[in-house]
Amino acid sequence: MFKFLNSIFANLILAILISLFTGLPVYVTFAFTIGLGILMRKVSKQFNGKLAFDGLATQVWLPDVLPSQFYPENNFLSAVRDLSSLVENNTINLAEAGADPDVLVNNTVYPVPITDVTDVPREVQLKTYDTTNSVVRNAIAIELAYDQRMLYIDKHQKALLKKFGKDAAWAYAPQVNDATKFNNVLSLGGNDSVIDAFIDQQAYFGSCNAPSEDWVSVLDFNHMAKIAKEDKVLYKAIMAKPGEIFYGFKIYTYSQLPFYLQADNTKAALGVAYNPEIHKRSSIFFLGSEVIKAMGTLEFFSRLKDPEARGDIFGYQARFTASSFRNKYMGAILQ
């Protein structure tokens, strides 16, 4: 009854608007809108529902899954460079700038030396992420099944954003300790202080002349527990507001950080399951200006009113990337 009355009300409003623009009596325009609606419904059934619903599906189902902001668990992504505006055909074309110019003091030699710029072009292809399909059986018309639609949109959105965050955390972590790229991996013993290691990372980033306004740290919850035991005041301050600056770093927490191999302190492969016999947990450090994220196209795929499934089958495909621009200025604490 509610849907019926809502439909009548919508048609009445449309009829009044048409009447204002055309000068026709309202009862005429109202009859026209009702008749047009019945005709469209019959045409839709003639084409198995696809004619009327395919366009509607894109308009109704697609905008709700687009992340207006990254999921709270992925809030560390707010501290990195967002290059979504530069995406063309799901590709980003960038260039790595060459060396800085020398600075002459009290120069007396002319002409002043000239150095050609030597930018290195880089092309970044966005990865393709597909959700497995969901089926809503015996669904009523999509435009009226609001609660059911939002439930499954939310599931697909969470699945995509969870994967984005996990891939990004892995990409922002150093592969191995490498002083030539200013990557510092600190391996701690079971009783070593996490706060002391944090301060050591602060000293290292400072000694590398890394821009202090871009320092970011993403802490593993096991390390956060150790910090709580070492300094409960600091722990409460960190947890109170993500992104607050402590020891020079904007601090975030995340539960899907990469693991490192105990044998040689190198980063384990993306997606491996944690094994306490061979892995160490990590907290990571990076420069926000040295890592990127970018969102490309988002596509909705559907087979509505499927005769075999007796329902609507749908899924999403997203293009996204998260990477370190030069694999420099990163760190990790392992324990």
The DSSP code sequence of 66-129 is S-SS--GGGGGGGGSEE-GGG-BTTEEEEEE--PPPP--SS---SSPP------EEEEEEPEEE
The answer to whether residue 80 sits within a structural domain is yes
In-domain check, residue 119? no
Residues 294 and 177 in one domain: yes
Q: What pLDDT was estimated at residue 41?
A: 60
Q: What mean pLDDT, rounded, does the chain reach? A: 82
In-domain check, residue 121: no
Is 214's pLDDT higher than 70?
yes
Indicate whether 215 and 305 sit together in one domain: yes
Asked if residue 260 and residue 139 are part of one domain, the reply reads: yes
**Tokens linked to 128:** 């393709």
Beta bridge partners of 320: 127, 295
234-242 mean pLDDT = 87
Q: What's the number of domains the chain is made of?
A: 2
CATH number at residue 185: 3.90.1690
Query: What pLDDT digit, counting tens, does each position of 242-261 carry?
Result: 888 999 999 999 999 999 99
Q: Is residue 99 part of a domain?
A: no
Over residues 132-184, the pLDDT tens digits come to 998 887 755 455 545 566 677 778 888 898 999 999 999 999 999 999 999 99
pTM tops 0.85, yes or no: no
Bridging pattern class, strands 249-253 and 215-219: parallel
What residue numbers bound the domain in which 20 lies? 2-46
| Domain contains 286 | yes
Pick 171 or 313 by higher pLDDT: 171
Q: Does residue 301 sit in helix, strand or coil?
A: strand
CA–CA gap between residue 292 and residue 289 (Å, rounded): 8
210 and 144, same structural domain?
Answer: yes
pLDDT confidence of residue 149: 65
Name the nearest CA neighbour of 172 among 20, 325, 25, 24. 325
Q: Are residues 25 and 172 in the same domain?
A: no
Does residue 103 belong to any structural domain of this protein?
no
Asked whether residue 61 carries a pLDDT value surpassing 50, the answer given is yes
Does residue 95 lie within any of the structural domains? no
Same domain, 148 and 8: no
Q: For residue 27, which phi and psi values (nearest 5 degrees)?
A: -65, -30
How would residue 56 be classed by pLDDT, with cut points 50, 70 and 90? very low
Q: How confident is the model at residue 55 (pLDDT cuts 50, 70, 90)?
A: very low
* Higher-pLDDT residue of 86, 2: 86
Residues 31 and 176 in one domain: no
140 and 217 both lie in a single domain = yes
Are residues 327 and 186 part of one domain? yes
* Whether 240 and 333 share a structural domain: yes
- Residues 26 and 161 reside in one and the same domain: no
**160 and 42 within one domain:** no
What pLDDT, on the 0 to 100 scale, is given for residue 29?
74
- Is 106 within a domain? no
Q: Which residue has the higher pLDDT, 241 or 79?
A: 79
Which CA distances in Å does 10 have to 6, 7, 13, 17, 34?
A: 6, 5, 5, 11, 10
